[in-house]
Chains A and B, each alone.
Chain A
Amino acid sequence: MFGRARDFATAQCRELVTNSARWAKAFSDWFREPGRAREARGIKLLREWLSPEQRAQYDRFGYFDVTGCDSGKRYRIRHGTGTNIYEMDDAGQTRTGWCFVPDGYLVAGDVVLAQKIALETDEVGALTVAKHFVLR
């Protein structure tokens, strides 16, 4: 009985130490590397995953359009880390805004890429967690 409790406590301590070490390393990496390098890595990854049309649009305007896989609606995703998704109407005007982001601290390129993949592969799932915002 006592042995089992001791093993459990040891395992818990080991996990705590491992997790603490992981967080410390993540913080250390984050602190040491310039933000620009992280941002640049995110944008490079995003550009690799955009279609040629989306890449051209993004390079020119700082946004690109995606088609929702379930509804066929068009969304415009602007470079940013939140409140940057706009649902478009047939006339190409912005109708309403949607906000969903990947969990945790990510650079803008990663956030935008996660939003693109979500709308193109699981639009309903993405909008289920999304918050709606009103355009001014």
Chain B
Amino acid sequence: MAVQIVMDHNGDTRHVFDANNAKELARAEKRFRELTGAGFTAATRTGSGDAKVIRKFDPTSEETLFVPRLVGG
């Protein structure tokens, strides 16, 4: 199972999906497009544990984190 983690007022919200299920995969891709379109940055972790920003939905990614747009504090 893969997971999309969205940072929000609750800490985070997790959307788990089966990457082998076409319907769930399509829903995950739609969520990816909507969130990145709304200004969220999508990041995954590499094998060595480093964060990597992705601009395109990756159906093989097991974990994708969505971070809201940054603003000056």
Q: In the bound complex, do residue A100 and residue B12 qualify as a contact, i.e. CB atoms below 8 Å apart?
A: no
Residues of A within 8 A of B43 (CB): 117, 121
Q: For window 3-44 of chain B, which residues contact chain A by CB distance below 8 Å?
A: 5, 7-12, 39, 41, 43
Say which residue of B5, B9, B50, B73 sits within 8 Å of A26 (CB atoms): B9
How many Å from the CB of A19 to the closest CB on chain B? 13
Instruction: Classify the secondary structure of B's interface with A.
Output: strand
Q: How many A-B residue pairs have CB under 8 A?
A: 98
Of A26, A30, A104, A116, most buried by chain B (CB within 10 Å of CB) is: A104
Instruction: Compute how far the CA of A135 lies from the CA of B61 in the bound complex, rounded to whole angstroms.
Output: 40
Q: In the bound complex, do residue B67 and residue A117 qualify as a contact, i.e. CB atoms below 8 Å apart?
A: yes
Instruction: Compute how far the CA of A45 lies from the CA of B7 in the bound complex, rounded to whole angstroms.
Output: 10
Q: In the bound complex, do residue B70 and residue A101 qualify as a contact, i.e. CB atoms below 8 Å apart?
A: yes
Q: In the bound complex, do residue B9 and residue A114 qualify as a contact, i.e. CB atoms below 8 Å apart?
A: no
Using a CB–CB distance below 8 Å, which chain A residues touch chain B? 26, 29-30, 33, 37-42, 45, 49, 51-52, 82-83, 99-107, 109-110, 113-114, 116-118, 120-122, 125-126, 129-131
